[in-house]
Structure formats: structure tokens, C-alpha cells
């Protein structure tokens, strides 16, 4: 991990801060051309291209007949779950559903003199959900992405995931997924966005993934809607001298093990905590199975920032705009008003990020790479669309038409004015 001292006047210009704040852009520059080529191949080749790309990148042999996993396999995976895992998944599903039901929007109609104005809220018809796979299994991601879609009333939920294990398939069964295709990477995103002979075209694609998946979503936005450009995971921990350095180190590793491109950042005003965490991270690293992945992540993006005080710590966090922000301080709630940019904020020493990943209820599909400046966590609002409803009576027309004619003429649009005047005769 790199240690950077920001206790000086020109700290905002520090190259490490700029590097981490631009992390998503830096990664995009490295991989974008490859993803463009993958999309082009799928656009031109359909199923054949998806199968060839899956063989090339994932080493998996597929045919058009084996791309889709029969629904019976989902049910079988559920029935074969160990009792403890089944209980955890079912309780998680219930907690996620209850939390997201509070986000439901309602249609409305309001009446004023001579008109009825309103909004109609409708669920999307067909949504694609990307669930990472291959190096790890993510049944929690299935629940976090599919349950809000179900709460919103989406008619058909299409899931894509590379080499799915039984826990992923069982979670799909619990969450009410309609169809599952065992393809991943940028080619899976392209297949959902463009449609192939076997994979249906969807209205929107949601779900996290690696940099290839994130870039495919970015490049296909407009052809299909997306939730956000969610790339490799990241965590930023604000800690003061009251924090336990072992706990902080473990939390940093919880994200570093996700991906070689994941980010793990500590911001502290304590020299002792900074020193202890740097040492403890590497001690704990040796005891985790995915230590090679985590080690590469720490070498590239692992950072400890030393700051003057907690005010500066919040400023650093707001510039980096992390996916996960933990506040492990003596009074974490006192910092909350000053935190502006974060996908999810975990307050206090026991609010460890993995609890949010699995069981608390708020969504764990969050903006990464600095996009928490303008993106929000995935929610029910991502799975609906809105139409404006407008009725105008003669009385209402007479009350407003002259005003509209004045504006049409001011904008130099005579046909607009004509459409209004012709109704006045």
C-alpha cells in the first residue's frame, strides 16, 4: 500500500488523489478498444460470436442449445441448498424486499381549472441482470439486482452469468428470475442490448461486473438503458485513533479480494493507525484464499492518506467519491452531514461493509470509480418508467392558449402558434 501525507496546504493537487478520483477513466482508456471490438462481433455474429467469445475469454464451450440453463436446474439447486445457506438467502431476500418496497412510486392525477395533469408509473417489461461469476459466486448480487425488479413489477427478468454455481442458481430461483444464460463478460452485455437468435433483447441492463462489463454498458447506453457504470469494487475507510487497526485492515481486504483492479483506501488523522494498518493488512493477507488477487489490488490502488483532521478526511472522501465509505470514528454521525459523495455510508465500527453486501437490505449495487458524484444505488426506481398524463378542456385551453402563443412566437416557431390559433376559431 502507498502512504501519502496530505497535511499540507496544496494537498488537493496531490497526484495520488487525482489518480484515484480518475480511477474509472484510467481503466476505461486501457480496455475500451477491446470492448468495442467485442460489441462489433456480437452485433454482426449473434449467437455464433457470443459462443466464440465465451470460448476465447472464459474457456467454456457452449452451443445455442446450452446457452440457456433449464429452469428445472434452478429449482434443483434450491432444493439441494444446505439448511444454513437456504435460511440466509431467504432472510436476505425478505429484508431486501421490505427495504425496496419503501421506494415504490405511485401514479397520480391532479386537477386544476380546465385540465387534468398527472404521471403514470409503469414497470419496464424486460430487464437484463448481469451477475459476476467465474472466479467467485455471488448469490447476494442475484438478490440485490433481481428483487428490486420484482418489487417494481418487471414482467421478465433475464439473468446472464458466467459459469454459475448452485448458490447463484438457487438465488435466481428465490428471487423469481425468468431465464438464465450462462454467458458473461462484455459479450453477455452486448447480447442483452442487441439481442441474438437465443438471447432476448432487453430494455435495460443492471448489475455489477469487471471493467469489460462496465465499459460494455457504457458503450451500449442509448441502445439500451443501464443502471450505472459499475466497475471494480472499492472501499474508503475514514478512521481515527479509536479504530481497531485489525478491523480496518480486514474491511480493506474485503474489497481488495474482489478483483485485481479493486480499490482499498484508508483516510486517517492518526500516524499510529496508518502504520498499524499497513502492517496488519499484509499479515491478514496471507491467511485469505484469494490473496494473490488482493495483493495485486493493493499494489496498484491500495492507499493510506494521512490528514490533519476529520474535516479534511471528509474532503478527501468527497473528491474520491467511493462506492463504499466506512466511518470508524469516536462519533461517526457527526461526520455524516459533511459526506456528499458515496454510494453507501457505513457508520460505526460494527457497520462493516460485508453486512451490507449480504443481509442488511439496502442495495449493494453501487456507483464506483468516482461516479457516486452523480449516480445512486440500484433501486426500484431503476425498473420503472414514467409517462405524463395530460387532459385539457375548452375552458382550460382558453385560459392558457394566448400565453403559449406568446412563447411560440418568441421562440420563432410559427407552426406551434398555428396549432394553437387554429383551435381558437
Catalytic residues: 323-324
Largest CA distance in the chain: 84
Query: In 3D, which of 103, 158, 148, 104 has the Cα closest to residue 128?
Result: 158
Q: Inter-axis angle of helices 47-58 and 23-45, to 10 degrees?
A: 130
- Rounded Cα–Cα distance for residues 54 and 62 (Å): 8
Buried residues in 252-289 as b, exposed as e (16+ CB within 10 A): bbbbbbbbbbbbbbbbbbbeebbebbbebbbebbeebe
H or E element that contains 205: strand 204-206
CA separation, residue 360 to residues 275, 296, 352, 357 (Å): 32, 30, 11, 8
Indicate the pairing of strand 225-226 with strand 234-239. unpaired
Q: Which three cell numbers stand for residue 415?
A: 407552426
Residue 227 DSSP SS3: coil
Amino acid at each position: 500500500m502507498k502512504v501519502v501525507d496530505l497535511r499540507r496546504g496544496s494537498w488537493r493537487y496531490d497526484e495520488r488523489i487525482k489518480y484515484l478520483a480518475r480511477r474509472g477513466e484510467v481503466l476505461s482508456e486501457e480496455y475500451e478498444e477491446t470492448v468495442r471490438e467485442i460489441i462489433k462481433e456480437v452485433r454482426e455474429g449473434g449467437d455464433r460470436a457470443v459462443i466464440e467469445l465465451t470460448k476465447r475469454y472464459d474457456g467454456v464451450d457452449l452451443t445455442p442449445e446450452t446457452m440457456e440453463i433449464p429452469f428445472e436446474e434452478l429449482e434443483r439447486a434450491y432444493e439441494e441448498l444446505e439448511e444454513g445457506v437456504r435460511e440466509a438467502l431467504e432472510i436476505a431476500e425478505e429484508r431486501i424486499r421490505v427495504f425496496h418496497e419503501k421506494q415504490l412510486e405511485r401514479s397520480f392525477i391532479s386537477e386544476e381549472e380546465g385540465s387534468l395533469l398527472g404521471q403514470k408509473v409503469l414497470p419496464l417489461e424486460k430487464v437484463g441482470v448481469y451477475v459476476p461469476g467465474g472466479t467467485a459466486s455471488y448469490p447476494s448480487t442475484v438478490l440485490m439486482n433481481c428483487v428490486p425488479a420484482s418489487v417494481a413489477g418487471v414482467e421478465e427478468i433475464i439473468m446472464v452469468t458466467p459459469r454459475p454455481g448452485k448458490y447463484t442458481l438457487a438465488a435466481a430461483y428465490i428471487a423469481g428470475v425468468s431465464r438464465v444464460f450462462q454467458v458473461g463478460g462484455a459479450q453477455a452485455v452486448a447480447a442483452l442490448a442487441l439481442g441474438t437468435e437465443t438471447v432476448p433483447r432487453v430494455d435495460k441492463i443492471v448489475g455489477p461486473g469487471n471493467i469489460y462489463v462496465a465499459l460494455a454498458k457504457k458503450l451500449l447506453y442509448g441502445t439500451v438503458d443501464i443502471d450505472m457504470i459499475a466497475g471494480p469494487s472499492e472501499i474508503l475507510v475514514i478512521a481515527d485513533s479509536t479504530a481497531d487497526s485489525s478491523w480496518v485492515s480486514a474491511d480493506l481486504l474485503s474489497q481488495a479480494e474482489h478483483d485485481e483492479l479493486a480499490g482499498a483506501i484508508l483516510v486517517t488523522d492518526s500516524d499510529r493507525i496508518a502504520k498499524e494498518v499497513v502492517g496488519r493488512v499484509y499479515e491478514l493477507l496471507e491467511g485469505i484464499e484469494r490473496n494473490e488477487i488482493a495483493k495485486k489490488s493493493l499494489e496498484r490502488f491500495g492507499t493510506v492518506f494521512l490528514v490533519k483532521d476529520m474535516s479534511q478526511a471528509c474532503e478527501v472522501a468527497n473528491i474520491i467519491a467511493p462506492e463504499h465509505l466506512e466511518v470508524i470514528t469516536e462519533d461517526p454521525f457527526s461526520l455524516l452531514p459533511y459526506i456528499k459523495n458515496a454510494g453507501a455510508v457505513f457508520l460505526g465500527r460494527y457497520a462493516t461493509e460485508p453486512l451490507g453486501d449480504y443481509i442488511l437490505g439496502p442495495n449493494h449495487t453501487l456507483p464506483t470509480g468516482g461516479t457516486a458524484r452523480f449516480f445512486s444505488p440500484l433501486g426500484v426506481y431503476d425498473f420503472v418508467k414514467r409517462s405524463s398524463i395530460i387532459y385539457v378542456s375548452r375552458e382550460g385551453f382558453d385560459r392558457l392558449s394566448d400565453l403559449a402563443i406568446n412563447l411560440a412566437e418568441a421562440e420563432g416557431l410559427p407552426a406551434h402558434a398555428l396549432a394553437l390559433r387554429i383551435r381558437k376559431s
